Structures are given as structure tokens and as C-alpha cells.
Structure 1
Amino acid sequence: MLNYIKQHKVKSAIVALILVAYYFCLPNPLFKDPTATVITSSNNQLLGAQIAKDGQWRFPHNDSIPNKFKTCIVQFEDEYFYKHPGFNPISIFKALKENLKSGGIKRGGSTITQQVIRLARKGKSRTYFEKIIEIILATRLELSASKNTILTHYASNAPFGGNVVGLDAASWRYFNRNANNLSWAESATLAVLPNAPSLIYPGKNQERLLKKRNSLLKKLLENSKIDTLTYELSVAEGLPQKPYPLPQTAPHLLQKVAQTQSGARVQTTIDIKLQNRINYIVKNHYNKLSQNEIYNAAVLVLDVKTRQVLAYIGNTPTDRAHQKDVDIIDKPRSTGSILKPFLYAAMLDSGDLLPNTLVADVPTQYGSYNPENYNKTYDGAVPASRALSRSLNVPAVRMLQDFGLDRFYQYLKFLKLKDLKYDANHYGLSLILGGAESNLWDLCKSYAALSSTLNHFSENSSTYFSNEFCEPTFLASTKINFGKQTTDKTLFDAASTYLTYQSLKEVNRPESDESWEFFDGSKQIAWKTGTSFGFRDAWAIGSTKDYVVGVWVGNADGEGRPGLVGVQAAAPIMFDVFESLPNSDWFPEPFDEMKKVAICKQSGHRASQYCDTAEEKYIQLAGLKTKPCPYHVLIHLNKDETYQVNSSCEDIGNITHKSWFVLPPLMSYYYKTKNPFYKPLPKFKPDCFGENAVSIEFIYPKKNSVIFLPKDFDGKTNDLILKIAHSKPEHIVYWSIDEQYMGSTKDIHEMSIIPTAGQHIITVADELGNQQKQAFTISL
């Protein structure tokens, strides 16, 4: 061989060049056409597809091909496919003979391999020279690819009529099902189409298509590929009459996938049965909400343990005028009260609060900011857990002020809420009531992290994971890494999270679900609603041990509507979704992060020596540094307990010592209206000296407030009613405005005045000389 090469160098070089050219003649990749973006469910069922950039329904290349279609296409197009090297000399000879005889191209004689090459070299004229090139490339393809691979190339790129390319797209467009589920008749129909794709047009060529299909079925019977019964049933099947629309089970998730993986086939984590069920739930609620001109909603369901997205509904089935294509799940919206649980958990975690510590719920003003509760009333004092479960605004703002705005802001930054773009001072205290924006994805992610913290703590010997607050995934190929096990908490300790969830479990459910706790098998859910200012956004997010369900309802354009409230608009959807999920056990108590201590029943503080009603309760370890109850004091009474006394007016032997629950005046003023068993301190016996100190607090006006006084129909300016709370209301209080005496009050301390426009200072003083001043401005 070497001697021959040396003797025939030119010939050898030519042969070598030909072999090299032959080796590299096959394009790689063989097909470069753009493909549709396709998403499938966790069990690989089609969720939706986005058409390819060239306007063709061409699914990404599929490495598998159903056996029925494989049999049909080989029997119809190339019966000797598994025996030839890429071309069939006998078929070529017969085709050449027939074409020469007729004077034109009447017969092709191409193998499936040659047809794959012709599809890859689209647009080439059908000449004898082109046929030679096809044969060369076909043999090269046979050397580099298996017969099955060649068939998959054909099935993925053959034309099936109109703008439908490939078996996968054709089976959905013409039969509305996966190619693996096609019958013999359907497979035979699709097998004959690439040979004459124009036959599929609705209402046209039905007889020709039927004839070709039945002819193939007859051949399958004769070659023992199908039995007689299958043949008879198959020829009785009808033909497709019109293309079906492709499934749009998760259209907004499809949009999201297309942003980063356009033209790919992506298996997601979506549970298709759950997705379909929630689509139905959202559609039903949309029909009701749209009657109130509320057109948009979004739902996200996460698996807590895997952090996978189980359902993704980015919007309602509304119309384009109401922005049905907008994916709300990742859009920033005002948070309303949905961040309150994080403040509560932060205060528990830092030891600033115990679960039921009384917090003030009284008229409050910080500069020009004047928060109000939804129902416009005040409780005076309310347990922190109840303030959270009832979503009271004033206690939340006061708790944020006490905890520290910057301090809480750092907790939120740890949650990686991407729409929290400004510093803490930009939001101010309104941060806790919807002054900031976030999105459904980030909020559900954060609640899932809290639930997972509890799960991991109980399942892994009271340890945490370093990457607990991670991003969820909707990609089946992605497995969440929760990081390393550690004894250090990630953000909130397990006890603070558990106690927060205990409070959220007590949130009042919608009217239709009011008595949920009395039914066997009812779901125990930690959940929270939120409503933004102006009734523009309604939120509901809930969690069990296994699932997080998040719901947003509103209008994509930001228009507010009456009734667009979290508990009315979003919560019913959330609970309907939870009804579609399996029941979960409640979270186990993280005892290793808790300690049992005596808690004052009335105040929720650690019991002091004067608390007469205490109970043993588990609290978070950080709560051990909280102060004992400040509201229980020891007072001295006469024998029949009608007066307070001291040694100046009563014999020591007749003095009774008793613990008494006493709130500051302003808290007491509102607290007693909601708590009829609250007893104010008894008066001092008239002949006693050295009474305890008293305190005075303004109810109205608030500090530095600007007050507008309306006029009656006759033009007369209405009175301004001034109010104070006095710890000993039986004392006489003297009122002055701008150092001008206005009068006195006793027991009920209210004063009616008509001040002039401008700034004023009101002064109140009681008969013992205790004094308070308040500045305000009148605008007429």
C-alpha cells in the first residue's frame, strides 16, 4: 500500500482529498431551523408551546419516535429502509426508467435517508445532479447515524401541511394528543402526509387522503403489521377536519421559559392535574370578580420540601383590553399587610416581644403620618398575636417604631425581595402597611423558607440549613441545594417562626369558611391577607407543612375597586386551591428553641410578683430577656375594697393589699370599651394624703395635627371637640387655649371650642397641678 502511494502520489492525494471532503460533507448540525418553545409538565405532558420565530409549528428535535408511526412511515415511504446503505439502486433504476419514458419527473425513488437530506437542503431544485448529491450525503449520514436517529430526523422535520412541521406538532394540531397516544389510523394518516402535505387542508382532498391512508392500512394488514380487527376498526375512523389549538395550560410560565430558553423543549415541575384544577378555580372566581370590574389575578403553588413550583397561573382568562397576557406573578405590587408576619417574627426572634404581649392600639401620629385600623376603631391594648391575626394597622406601626425601621429593613433585605429598591427612610413607617412593593414570587418564596425552616429543624436533630432562603424552581432538571447543616439560625429561629405561624393559624377565614375548625379533617393553615391603599391589591398567602399557596387579585392597570380586599377577594381563591391539595399535619413544636415560663394572662408579659393570674407557656428562648409585666401593681385598699388608702387615712391593720391590672390612661380609655370586665383603680379615700402620681394623655387633637373645621349648610363653623384621658377621671381638669381659660371638666374630660384659623397650644391642668400641653393648627 505504501509503495503504491509513493508511486501514485497525485492519485493518492486526490483520493485523500475526496475522502476528507466526503467525511466533512455532512452539515453539523443537520437542521438549523428555529423551533418552537415547548414546556411539559412533571410527567412530560404538554403544557403549551410558542410558535417558532419563522412562523412554523416546529417542535424541538425528539430523539424518540412512536412504534406505530415508525412502522407506518417505513411501510409507506421506504420498505427496504433497514437494508439499504442510504439509497436503493433498484428504486432509482425504476424511477429513472419511468421518468425517461414519460419525459418528466414522475417518480422519485428516494429513500427516507435521502428525504432527510433533501429536507436539510431545503429549496434545492429536483435535478439529477441534486439527486447525486443527495445520494452522497445520504450514504455519509448512514455511516454516522443509526437508522433510528435517521427516522427521528425525518419525523421531527417532515412537512405535515400548512405551517405544521414534524410529527410532534402534527399530532397535537390534527389529533390534539401526544404522538405516543395515536391510533393506527391516526399514525397512518400522518405517515402519508409528508408525501402530499396539501391533502390535510380542512374540507379539501378528503377522498384522496382517505384513499392514501386506507391503502397504507391495507399494506400493514398484508404485511402482518396489524391484525384484521385492527384494520377494520382503523379504516372506520374519520379524518381530522380542522387543526386544534395547542394546549395553553400554563401560558404565562411558557412566556417566562421563552425568555431564557427560546426554542427549547423544557420539562417543568408543574403538576398538570393541579394546574388544570386551579385554572378552573381562577376562571370561576374571575367570572364573579369581573362583575365588580376586577379583572386580574395570579396564583402560585410551591412544594415546601422541594421548593418546586407545582402550579403557575400568571393571570385570569380575561381579554387583551384587560392585559390577559401580563404575568402578574413577578410584577411589583403594593404589599398591604402581607409583611406584618415578618415584623412579628423579627421581634420574637430578637427578644423584643412575647407572643401575647399587650401592644398599644390607640390614636397614633408620627409627624404627618397618621395610621388607622381598617375598621377605624381602637382596642386600647391588644395581644401582639391577635394584632397580627386581626391585621391591625396601628399596633403594627407602633411595633415597627419600637423595633426600629432600619433594623426591620435589614431583615427584609435578607429575604431578597427584589422590588425593595430604596432605603428604609424612603418607605418610612408605612413600610409595614404597603408603602413598599413586592411580587407574588418573592413573597411565596419567603413564606416557603419559613415553613421549610420548621420542617428541617424537626427532621434534622434541631439544626438549620445555610441556604434555606433560596429561589424556588419550575425546572424539573434543577434540584434545590439547601446548603450545609448548621446550629446557627438562617434568619429567624424555629421557635419564633412556629409562634408566628400559631398566630397566623388563627386568622379569621372568609364568611363561607367561618366554622372551619369544627370539621374533622379541616386544614390547619398559617395564612395572611393584605390590602393595599386605595383597594388596588388584594393578597392572600398561606402555608401548611407541605405547600405554600399565594394569591394576588386586582387590576393590572392599578385601578382600585370597592371590595378589593384580601379576605374577600384573594382568600376564597387561596382556600379553594388548598382544597385541591392533600391535607398536611401541623408543624411540630421546636422545643429545643423554647422554654416554659410563667406568663401573665392579662398582659402576655412574663409574670411579675404582682401577677395574680399566671399560666405556664412555652416561649422562644430570646423572650427570656423581656421585662416582667409592667401593668400589674400592688395597691392598698380599705377593708371593703371601695377606696385606695394609705397609713395617713387608715389603720395599718385594716389595709388590704391587692394586685391590680392598670393600663396607661390613653390605652385604658379605649381598652375598657372593648373589655367590660376591666376595672379602673378605685378612688383614694378623701382624707388620704400623698396620692400616687397621675398621668394625662391627649386623645384629640393629636400632636402637631392640622385640623379642618367644616361648616354647616347655614355657613356656621362646627365645634372642635377636645378630649383627654386622665388616670383619675374624678379629678377636675382646667382647660386653656393659648393661655386663655376655657373652662373645667370632671369625670368625662371633653371640651367644645371654636378656635380661629392658625396655630394654637392647648393646656390642661388638674387640681393637683399635673399639666399637659398639645400644639395643633386650625385650617378653615
Structure 2
Amino acid sequence: MSQPARRRRLRWLPWSFGGVGLLALAAVAWLGWVMLRVPVGGGMQPAGTAATLILENRDGSGFATRGVLRGDPVTADALPQPLTDAIVAIEDRRFFSHGGIDPRGLLRALSRAATSGRLREGASTITQQLARLSFLSQDRTLTRKVQEAVLAVWLESRLEKPEILARYMNAAYFGAGAVGVDAAARRYFGKPAGELSLGEAAMVAGLLRAPSALAPTRNPEAAWERAQVVLGVMQDTGAATPEAVAAARAAPPALQAPPEPLVQRGYFADWADAEARRLVGPLPLDLSVRTTLDPRLQDLAEQVVAKWLDREGAAAHAGQAALLALAPDGAVLAAVGGRDYATSQFNRATQAERQPGSLFKLFVYAAAMEAGFRPDQVVQDAPLTIDGWSPNNADNRFRGPVTLREAFAGSINTVAVRVQDSVGRARVAEMAKRLGLTQDIALVPSMALGTTEATLAQMVTAFGRVGYNTALSPYVVQEVRARDRALYTRPPGGGGAPVLNAAAQQGMLDLMLAAVRDGTGRAARLDRPVAGKTGTTQDSRDAWFVGITADAVVGVWVGNDDNSPMNRVGGGGLPARIWQDFMRQADRIRTAAAPSAAPPPAPLPAAPVLAPEPLRGVPQVLDTATLQVAGRVVRLGGVVGVPGDFTGAMAQWIAGRDAVCTPQDANTWRCRVDGRDLSELVLSNGGGRATTDATPELRQAEQAARAARLGVWGG
């Protein structure tokens, strides 16, 4: 090199060193800026959340999970095996030898990806993943990767390897709402993380790569395929022997987990979720919720609603339907809140307030029956005007003199308005409140025709209260548990005192049976007694049918969310046909489940009888005339009961023995314990008073106790 060239090179050398220095300074500044953006306040432990719920059917089988499962945290001094070995083998085989970053592992992952065409191993170490889970976002940026690497080195300087591993296992997501290995073990296999078999551990560890896609509740085949990859890596690294791996592959793990939520059950799941959280409060626990849902009836309800809407919905311009089925104690057996939960989560069974139309006549006639009206009483179906308003009948005809039974069965508007005017609007409104309506009721003449809005759940409740004469309310939660500890158990007991006097309730059963047997509800008839009522609003904007049998009260609503008119759809049409289809198939399901206990089909009764089947079980004494037997409130015939010490004495005499109770009518029972008639026993010991309709034998027992000054007669 010539002397001038050498001088020119030396002249540029200081500038080169200066440029390198500036680049280094810029790199240091950028690295400092990157680290200043780390959200150090993020914390090392996952934030607390509200209770996580595993929802179970009434038979104990799971059907949905709500929220994020946490499980119990694993600790550094008790890492679960073989799960620990599986996670280290598949996620970071050099975990115990690197300092937070593993260049060799990175090169190996990239090399295998280039040769196999897919990434079998992650490039981030477990420490880097913990840094990301604890402090960083999931963004795939250079800034985040640098932050992750620096934080990983810092974590390694502050924590021992077992502590890093324990924190990672507690923070990682494993799909299906499970955060942490213990939550995953309980979610998928119903056991703690420390009790997992090799195959189960391999499946859980394999979920870390793609937890949502590989969750075995959603994709069991892919989850098992990934688990076999994990088993292979464990064998390659010496974490498991070939014999153990072969045994694990020969026996794929069996899931003990509720599946992914079925779409239509979302309406019920939302209801149960809200109710369970209200009952136990915002606890940061993993909870199991035993609900009232009957999966067979729920599946049936969804199928029936979808079938009829698909078949008739378009021609009828009916876009939505809802169905609600309650047991006699108010337990929700099935609930369909709309046509498609995935499209709309608005629950039309519990949230939609619509005009009930002629269903409201239930309250008018119930108030009348309590006021002394009777089904055979004659009222005029003729034109009338009240406060300038004149009601019309649906067919624009007037029939002249009709019985209340005929008027209710035919849903005659003028008669309902006359009866309401005679009884008093305030009394009808009070009856509606007593039977379950909570909305404000305008005391106008048209209220008799259902101008006050109500939900399907409220109307089904009202009909159930009249049909079974108890103050039932819908409920969806039977028990809430945190592992094996019960946080809430629904208390025993029924609906308390009767909502109607016996004559009024029997009169209403007479009317409702006639409505199905001879009136507008004929399309809902079964081969056993059905009591019910249709409802249709102006321009067919809403159509309803609610029916009661001995074992269920079921309501159906059909309409449109935008309140547009349907094409001549009445309550006795599409809703009644949906109701009948559901109930017929429900009867077959019940018969198939317990053929020996299923009663033979019975014709429609000539008299208003809607009595339940006999009951057997150890009774709980509520008062001396009221028992709870086999989950049902039973009232002893012929006895006016008393509470207090008499109740305790009666329970002590029963002493855990079974009572056999047979119905006298729709409202009273005759019960025996070891052959002793409880009504006679109560009255002969002065444990109550005889009713006005008590049999001569019971009145004689009361007279003997009175003569001997026993019990209530002792004063």
C-alpha cells in the first residue's frame, strides 16, 4: 500500500471507531428504552378471579364450564411427577442446565423445523415463557422477544429452578378454561396434578403448544396424537423408559370432564351461572354446580322447537320461540330461550316481557273463584262498554248466556271483562301479584285481556302455582360445592301455604281442564289429564300456551323479536302443537327410563282431577298437617296443622320410618307410617284440629282428644 493511501486510511479510522461507538450507544439506549416499557407491576402470580363454575345436570354429569379454572397451586418442593418430566421434556429439555436462554435449544428447534417441515419444539425456554406470562403481552415483536430474554436472565438470577418451574406450571393455560396444571388435571381427568398417570401427564403437557385447539374436550384425537409426541420425546431424553411409554400408548387416557358447552344449553347455563354466583357470592374458587337440568328433556325441547320453527316458521312469519318446563316444585327441567343461542344470547323465556293476551284470564278467573264464583255459574256473552271501551270476541260473535267453564274454555273476551268488573280490578291485580307477576299493572278495563307485559317464566310460574296450589318459584341450582365442601344446598320444603283456597283451586282446575278438553287448547290434548290455557295478542304478535300435568308445568311462546305480527298464529295453533309434541315425547322418555313405574295411559277425566302419583319416603315434618315426602310437599287430609312442640313430637314418633302417601285429590293426601294413619294419629293426640270436610272417623278422633284435653285442647 502506498504512503498516501495509508494516510487516507488512518484519517478515516477515528471516524469508524466513533461510528461503532455511536451504534453501541444507540443499542444500549434502545435496550434501556425496551426495558423501561416492561410492565413490572404485572406481578408473578395470576390475578384472582371470580368463582369458576362447572355446571352439572341433575344426574351429576357435567355439561358446561364457565370462567377460568385455577385449581391448587403446585409448590417448588412438591412438583408433580410425571407431569414435571413431561413438561420439561417437550418444552425445554435443557431447562436445568441453561441460564434462562438456550442458544443450543434455539438452533436445534430451527434445524428440526427445517428438516421436518413443522416445529416440534418451542424456541423459548420455560423461563422465557414464565417471563412472558408474568410480565409481557403475547405480541410477536422484536421488542417483546428482547424483553422476554432479559427478564428470563433476571428471573434465573433471583429464583431457583424448581421455583421457576412451579410458577410456570401454575400460570400456563391448558385450554377449556384451565389455568395451571392442577386445574388442567382436575378439568380433564378429575384428579389432582400429582395423581396423573404417564399418559395423562403427556396429554396435559402437550396442550401447552396450542391449548385451545388441542383441548381434549374439543379435539380428543388431536390431543392424544400430541400426547404421543410428548411420550416419544420423554423416551428420547430418558425421562421415561421404553416400557412405560409403550404401556401408556397402549392405554389412552379416559376423560372425566364435561364437554364443550352445547350451544343451545347456553340459555340455561347463563341462568345457572347467574343464580349460583348470587347464592355464594364472588368467591375466587373452582366450584361445581349441580343444576336441575334434565339432559334428555333439554335435548328434546331444543329439537322440538327447532323442528316446528323450521317446518312452519317461515309461512307463519314466526321467527322465535321459547319453551320452559318446570317440575311441580319449581325445578327447571328444560329451558329454550330462543331459536339460536349462537346468534342471540337474549333469553326469551326469562328476559322478554310480552303481552300475555288471554293467558291473563287466569288471574281474572282465579280472583273470581276466590270471590265465590263457580264454573257452572252463568254470565252473559253480550256487547258491553266500560269507560268508553268496548271489547270484542275473537270471532266477532256473541253467544248469550254461557257458563264460566264455557267462557274460559272458549276464551270469550266479553265474559272475562264482565267477571273482572264484578270482582274488581284491584282484586285481579292482587291475584296476579300473588301468582308471580312483578310488573306494575294498570287498572284499566283492558287488563283482563292481557295488556300487562310478562315473561314466559312468570306465566309458567303462575299456572304452576294454581295447578299445584303452592307458591313455587323457578329454580335452577340444587347445590354448589367447592371440591367436597358444600357452600350451598337448596333447603328442603315446598311452596309453603296454599296460594288459593281449596274451592278456588279446584274451580280453576275445572276451567283449565275444559280449555284443553273442549276449548281453544284442544291441540295440546294428551292421553292423560291436561289443564291449560291459550293466549294470543292483537294482530298475532304473541302466541302462548301453558299446560299443566301431574308431573310438569310447561309453557311455550312464539313470536318475533321486533314485535311484528305473525300470519294468523294463535295460542291454540303452533304453541299448542309444540307443547303437545314435547310432552308426548317426554312421556315416552319417562316410560323408557322407568317402565315398571310408568302409569298406563288414562283418558281425560269427566271430573276435574289432577292428582299426583303415590309417594314413599322418610317424611320431614313442616307442621302437624304438612310433610315433605320424596321432595314433595304433602298436606294431610282432614287436618289443620300446628307448628312448635307438636311438630317435634310428631317427628320423634316417626323416627326415620317411611311414610306411604296416597292422594285424596289434587291438594290433600292420606299418609301411613307402619300402617298408622297420620291424620288420625295427629287428631287423636290433639296435634291439630279437624277441617270442616274431615271424615267422620277423623272427627271422632278429634272429639276423643278434646274430651281427654290432649294437645291443643289442654288449655
| TM-score relative to the length of structure 2 | 0.57
Matched, 1:449 2:452: no
Cα offset, 1:374, TM superposition: 2.0
Q: List aligned pairs for 1:652-691, cutoff 5 A.
A: none
Alignment of structure 1 residues 487-636 onto 2, 5 Å? 490-508=498-516, 522-579=527-584, 580-581=586-587, 582=590, 586-587=610-611
Q: Which residue pairs with 1:364 in the alignment?
A: 384
- Is residue 449 of structure 2 the alignment partner of residue 402 of structure 1? no
Question: Residue by residue, what CA displacement relative to the aligned partner does 1:27-63 show, whole Å, maximum 9, x if unpaired?
Answer: 897543689876443345454466xxxxxxx633246
Which of 307, 318, 324 is 1:300 aligned to? Answer: 324
Structure-2 separation of matches of 1:102 and 1:64:
28
Could you tell me how far apart the structure 1 residues matched to 2:314 and 2:104 are? 74
Which residue does 2:337 correspond to in 1? 314
Residues 137 and 447 of structure 1, relative CA distance in 2, 3 Å threshold: farther
Distance in structure 2 (CA, Å) of the matches to 1:493 and 1:590: 15
In the alignment, what sits opposite 1:281?
304
Partners of 2:179 and 2:189 lie apart in 1 by: 13
Q: Which has the higher strand share?
A: 1
Shift of 1:565: 0.6
Q: For 1:318-350, what per-residue CA distance to the aligned partner results, in whole angstroms no more than 9, with x for missing partners? A: 885xx5745453221011111222322222222
Q: Among residues 357, 376, 391, which one is paired with 1:336 in the alignment?
A: 357
Query: Which letter does structure 2 place at the counterpart of 1:76?
Result: A
Q: Percent identity?
A: 22
Alpha-carbon distance in 1 for matches of 2:73, 2:106? 41
Unmatched 5+ residue regions in structure 1?
1-24, 51-57, 80-89, 143-149, 238-243, 455-467, 595-619, 623-780
Aligned twin of 2:408: 388
Q: Partners in 2 of 1:43 and 1:116 — Cα distance? A: 40
**2:83 matched to which residue of 1?**
73
Q: CA–CA distance in 2 between the matches of 1:291 and 1:433?
A: 28
Among 464, 469, 472, the residue aligned to 2:475: 472
1:374 is matched with which residue? 394
Contact 2:214/2:223 (8 A) holds in 1:
yes
Q: Secondary structure at the match of 1:552?
A: strand
Structure 1 pair 113–278 and aligned structure 2 pair: CA distance change class (3 A): farther
The CA RMSD over aligned residues, in Å, is: 5.5
Aligned to 2:263, the other structure's residue is in SS state coil
Amino acid at match of 2:448: I
State whether structure 2 residue 133 is matched by structure 1 residue 133. Answer: no
- TM-fit CA distance, 1:197: 6.5
Contact 1:445/1:472 (CA < 8 Å) preserved in 2? no
Q: Is the 8 A contact 1:551 1:573 kept in 2?
A: yes
**CA separation of 1:374/1:77 partners in 2, compared to 1, >3 Å: closer, same or farther?**
same
Deviation for aligned residue 1:501: 1.4
State how 1:60-99 maps to structure 2 within 5 Å.
60-62=69-71, 73-77=83-87, 94-95=97-98
Aligned to 1:212: 230
Give the C-alpha shift of residue 549 in structure 1.
0.8
When residues 213 and 122 of structure 1 are mapped into structure 2, their CA distance, relative to the original with a 3 A threshold, is farther
Gaps spanning 5+ residues in structure 2: where?
Answer: 1-40, 110-120, 138-147, 481-487, 592-597, 600-609, 613-634, 641-690, 694-715
Determine the structure 2 residue equivalent to 1:744. Answer: none
- Residues 525-561 of structure 1, C-alpha deviation per residue, up to 9 Å, x if partnerless? 2111100111111111112233211111101110111
Alpha-carbon separation, structure 1, partners of 2:403 and 2:56 = 48
CA distance in 1, matches of 2:198, 2:416: 67
Residue 32 of structure 1: aligned partner: 48
Change (3 A) 1:47 1:436: same
User: Is the alpha carbon distance of 1:417 and 1:137 closer, same or farther for their aligned partners in structure 2, counting shifts above 3 Å?
Assistant: farther
Max Rg structure: 1
CA distance in 1 between partners of 2:73 and 2:582 (Å): 36
Q: How many residues align?
A: 505
Q: Which residue of 2 aligns with 1:689?
A: none
Distance in structure 2 (CA, Å) of the matches to 1:444 and 1:412: 12
User: Kindly tell me: are residues 408 and 162 of structure 1, through their superposed partners in 2, closer, same or farther at Cα, counting changes over 3 Å?
Assistant: closer
Residue in structure 1 matched with residue 671 of structure 2 by the alignment: none
Distance 1:621 1:207, change over 3 A: closer
In the TM superposition, residue 389 of structure 1 has moved relative to its aligned partner by: 2.1
* Segment of structure 1 superposing worse, 374-383 or 258-267: 258-267
Aligned equivalents of 1:296, 1:169: Cα separation in 2: 39
2:367 alignment partner, SS class: helix
Counterparts of 2:200 and 2:566, CA distance in 1:
51
State the Cα distance separating 1:96 from its structure 2 match: 5.5
Partner of 1:231: 249
Report if the CA contact (8 A) 1:159-1:165 is conserved.
yes
Q: 1:199, 1:397 → 2: CA distance?
A: 61
Superposed CA offset, 1:92-111 (max 9, x none): 76446996999999999x99
Equivalent-residue separation in structure 1 for 2:132 and 2:513 (angstroms): 66
Q: Is the CA contact (8 Å cut-off) linking 1:334 and 1:532 kept in structure 2?
A: yes
Residue of 326, 342, 366 corresponding to 1:345: 366
Judging changes above 3 Å, is the alpha-carbon distance between structure 1 residues 498 and 526 closer, same or farther for their aligned structure 2 residues? same
Cα distance change on mapping 1:484 and 1:364 into 2, 3 Å: same
Structure 2 residue aligned with 1:464: none
TM-score (norm 1): 0.53
Q: Secondary structure at the match of 2:538?
A: coil
> Is the Cα contact below 8 Å between 1:493 and 1:593 reproduced in 2?
no
**1:417 corresponds to:** 437
Measure, in 2, the Cα distance between the counterparts of 1:415 and 1:97.
68
1:188 is aligned to 2:208: no
Between Structure 1 and Structure 2, the one with more helix by share is 2
Kept in 2, the 8 Å contact 1:167–1:179? The answer is no
SS at match of 2:86: helix
Q: Quick one: which of 448, 455, 467 aligns to 1:432?
A: 448
